[in-house]
Structure 1
Amino acid sequence: MGRPKQFEPDAAIDKAVDVFWRKGYALTTPQDLVHELGIGKGSLYNTFTSKHALFEQALRRYGENRVAGLVEVLEGPGSVRARLRTALERLVDAYLADPRRRGCLAVNTAAELAGVDDIAAKIVRGVFDRMESAFQAAIEEGQRGGEIDADRDSREVASLLLNASIGMSVVAKTADSPDRLRRVVDAVLTTL
């Protein structure tokens, strides 16, 4: 009979999200993970099998949380235009409130690994696809309700909103004020 686990794997994944988000995949060492998760190296490998396997779980967790937060706002009360503004402004606020200016883990991963890590690219693509679908559902709701021009291609507009979100996460890494990001939000919403 093996020794019982002395840590909660689910909590370890949450901590790993922070480590990978802060350092990136390549710069995160197994020793970083052992130290920051507060577990032994044996527990790390016995539970997660590898640094990459833990990274995959952390990236999926991050994506699930990011998409769930977006969907919660987009499916909330109020006009569709107001919900879209709130969703984009919350991204801006989150990016700028982070003292480390980490941006978005999915975007960071795409920039770091998309050309060399098919699994990471697939996970990020899934996050982006779900975000775009959430935007598209909101756009279509707005079109049915007359808030958004029904002649606009909802998928194109959703892609624009996704790309604005991605771009803002990069710009926020060096922004010294929210002005540029707020202009992006205003400009994107004007196109509706």
Structure 2
Amino acid sequence: MSGRPRKFDDSAVIKAAMDVFWSNGYDGASAEVLCERTGLGRGSLYNAFGNKQKLYEIALRRYQEQGLQAQADILNAPGSVKERLLALMRWGIEDDLGPNRGRGCMALFAVLDRAGKDPVIAEISRVYVIKLEQVLCHLFTVGQRNGEVSSDSSALELARAFLSSYYGLRVLGQSMPDREFLEDVIKGTLARF
């Protein structure tokens, strides 16, 4: 005997849960709010996705997939290496200062809030950074081959240095939401490459 078929769209439920976690963090996302925003009862929600932790992991992975695709599209677009790095950093600023200001980057805040306490979230976050690092490594390798970027450091070292500045910029976007300040950070960062 099989259970009743699902009468909801998994993708829509995950998107709604992602929005709750993104806006409220893990601890601030109550079961009541998750149920309200997804339109599911607690039993249906947890039967479908396990528990709050599992739902958070699924939502975080979805957020990261979307974010990685958006960032890869920017980094793989036409233009010089510096133009693409600039576009990525400005994309981050727009996200941090835009209409959803205050939410910041869910992937980054998952690391700051949960990774130290939760090895699954730490691993999800590590894999995400490695994927972004690979896209950046490719960009720097191409830049070194065509002479746009110095070969004094390896492409991997350059990618990691950029990641450090990029994530620092995203944190600063929350604590110093001043466009001129953040543009100065970008200029200083790009001067190194």
TM-score (norm 1): 0.94
Cα distance in 2 for residues equivalent to 1:64 and 1:178? 27
**C-alpha contact (below 8 Å) 1:139/1:148 kept by paired residues:** yes
For this pair of structures, how many residues does the alignment match? 192
Cα distance in 1 for residues equivalent to 2:175 and 2:39? 32
- Structure 1 spans left out of the alignment, 5+ residues: none
Can you list the C-alpha shifts for 1:95-144, whole angstroms capped at 9, x where unaligned?
Answer: 11044411111111111112210001111111111112211111111111
Report how far residue 48 of structure 1 moved: 0.1
Cα distance in 2 for residues equivalent to 1:40 and 1:19? 16
Cα distance in 2 for residues equivalent to 1:134 and 1:62? 18
**C-alpha contact (below 8 Å) 1:92/1:172 kept by paired residues:** yes
Report how far residue 182 of structure 1 moved: 1.1
Matched, 1:53 2:34: no
Cα distance in 2 for residues equivalent to 1:98 and 1:169? 15
Q: Give the letter for the 2:132 counterpart.
A: M
**C-alpha contact (below 8 Å) 2:61/2:124 kept by paired residues:** yes
| Partner residue, 1:35 | 36
CA-based RMSD of the aligned residues comes to 1.3
| Partner residue, 2:104 | 103
Extract structure 1 runs of 4+ deviating beyond 6 A. none
Cα distance in 2 for residues equivalent to 1:68 and 1:99? 19
Can you list the C-alpha shifts for 1:141-185, whole angstroms capped at 9, x where unaligned?
Answer: 111111111222211211121112211221111334211211111
Report how far residue 33 of structure 1 moved: 0.6
SS of residue matched to 1:167? helix
SS of residue matched to 2:96? helix
SS of residue matched to 2:175? coil
Q: Give the letter for the 1:97 counterpart.
A: G
| Partner residue, 1:150 | 151
Q: Percent identity?
A: 34
Cα distance in 2 for residues equivalent to 1:126 and 1:36? 29
SS of residue matched to 1:71? helix
SS of residue matched to 1:150? coil
| Partner residue, 2:13 | 12
